[in-house]
Amino acid sequence: MQNPSPAPIMLEPFEFGFMQRAMIAATLVGGVTAAVGVFVILRRLAYIGHGLAHSIFGGAVVSFTIGFNFFLGASLWGAFSVFLINQAARRRQIGGDAAIGIVTTAAFAIGIAVISRARSFTRDFEAALFGEILGITNQDLYVTAGMVLLIAVVLFLLWKPLVFVTFDQDVATSYGISVRWVETIFSLALAATVVAALQVLGVTLIAAALVIPPVVARMLTDSFPRLFLIAVVLGAVTGFLGVYVSWFVDVSSGATVVLVQAAMFALTLGWGTIESRRGLRATRRAERLAGLERSLND
C-alpha cells in the first residue's frame, strides 16, 4: 500500500492543531488590536497601549499567584488601572501622559514585587512577557474569540460617539455626547484588547500591534472609515502571516508578527517617499516646460 503524498511544504503549518489555533488567534487579535489602535493613534495615546500592557502584566502575575482566573484577574486589573488613569488625568496638574506613566509603572512594579517575593520566574510569567501563542489551547481560543467579539460589538455600538470624541472631544459634549462615558468604555475595551493579546504577543510587543497597522493605514488614506477597514485587514493579515512565517524561520511567533508589521510599515514609508519624489519631479518638469513655453511665446 502506498503512503499518501506529503503535503506541499507551504501547507505544512496547517497540518498541526497548535498552528491552526495560533493562526486563528493571531488573525483575530491582529484585527482587533488594529481596530482599537486606530482610535489610540488618532488620540495620540500610543503610550497608553504600552503602559497598559505592563500594568496588566502586574494583574496577570497577581492572579496567577493567588490562583485566580488569569483572564478575569488581568481584565479587572486593567480596568482598575484605566479608572485610576482617568481619575488622575482629570487633575490639571498631572495630565494624561504622566497619569499613564505613574499608574501603569506602579501596577507593573507590583507584578515584579510579587515575582521577587516568590523568588521564582516561572514559564507562565515568561509567556505573559513575551507571548506564547503556540501554547494556546482550544479553551484559550474560545475565550480570546469571545473577547474579540465583545470588543467588536462595543466598537460597533459606540462607533459614532467614539469617532466624534476622537476627532473633536472639546465639542462632542455640546452635541449631547457624554465624553466621560465614551472614554471610560473605550478604555475598558482597550484593556480587554491588551488582555486578549497578552498570550499572543506578550507585554513587550502589544504596543507595536496596536500602533503599526493603523499608522500604515493612515499613510494610505485620508478617509476615516477606509482607514479603519485597511487597519483591521492589515492587522489580521499580518497576524496570520507572522505566525505562518514563524513556522519556516523558527523564530518566536509574536516577534514575527511585529516584524511583518514593521516590514509593511517600512515598505509603505518607502513607497510613499518614492511617490512624493516622483510627484515633485513631475511638478518641476511641468514648471520647466511651462517656463520654456512662455519664453518661446515671448
Partner 1 sequence: MATVAVDELVRLEGVALGYEGVVALRDVDVHIAPGELIGIVGPSGCGKTTLLRSLLGEPELYAGTAKVADNTRVGYVPQVETVDWNFPITVEQVAMLGSWRTRRWLPWTSRAERSRARVVLSQLGIADLADRPIRALSGGQQQRTFLARALIRSPDLLLLDEPTSGVDIKTRHEILHQLAGLNTAGVTVVLTTHDLNGVASHLPRLIALGEQTVLADGPPSEVLQPDILERAYGQPMLVVQSGHETYVLPIPEEAPGAHGDVLPPPDVVSVIGRPDGDEAGDEDADAESEPRSDHA
Where on the chain is the footprint of partner 1 (CB under 8 A)? 42, 92, 156-157, 159-161, 163-164, 166-168, 170-171, 173-177, 218, 221-225, 227
Nearest approach, Cβ of 239 to partner 1 (angstroms)? 22
Q: Of 168 and 293, which CB lies nearer to partner 1 in the complex structure?
A: 168
Q: Of 166 and 253, which CB lies nearer to partner 1 in the complex structure?
A: 166
Q: Of 97 and 124, which CB lies nearer to partner 1 in the complex structure?
A: 97
Distance (Å, rounded) from C-alpha 108 to C-alpha 55? Answer: 5
The three-class DSSP label of residue 105 is: helix
The cell for 234 is 492589515
Please count the residues of the chain. 298
Nearest approach, Cβ of 180 to partner 1 (angstroms)? 13
User: Cβ atoms within 10 A of the Cβ of 158, count?
Assistant: 17
Nearest approach, Cβ of 176 to partner 1 (angstroms)? 7
Of residues 158, 206, 162, the one with CA closest to residue 52: 206
Distance (Å, rounded) from C-alpha 210 to C-alpha 199? Answer: 15
Nearest approach, Cβ of 212 to partner 1 (angstroms)? 16
Q: Of 223 and 276, which CB lies nearer to partner 1 in the complex structure?
A: 223
Q: Of 184 and 221, which CB lies nearer to partner 1 in the complex structure?
A: 221
Q: What are the C-alpha distances in Å from 141 to residues 60, 135, 204?
A: 18, 10, 21
User: 271, 222 in Cβ contact below 8 A?
Assistant: no
Phi, psi of 218 (to 5 degrees): -60, -35
Nearest approach, Cβ of 98 to partner 1 (angstroms)? 17
Q: Of 214 and 242, which CB lies nearer to partner 1 in the complex structure?
A: 214
Give, in degrees to the nearest 5, the angle at Cα 215 between 209 and 218: 145
Nearest approach, Cβ of 156 to partner 1 (angstroms)? 6
Of residues 253, 259, 192, 202, the one with CA closest to residue 18: 253
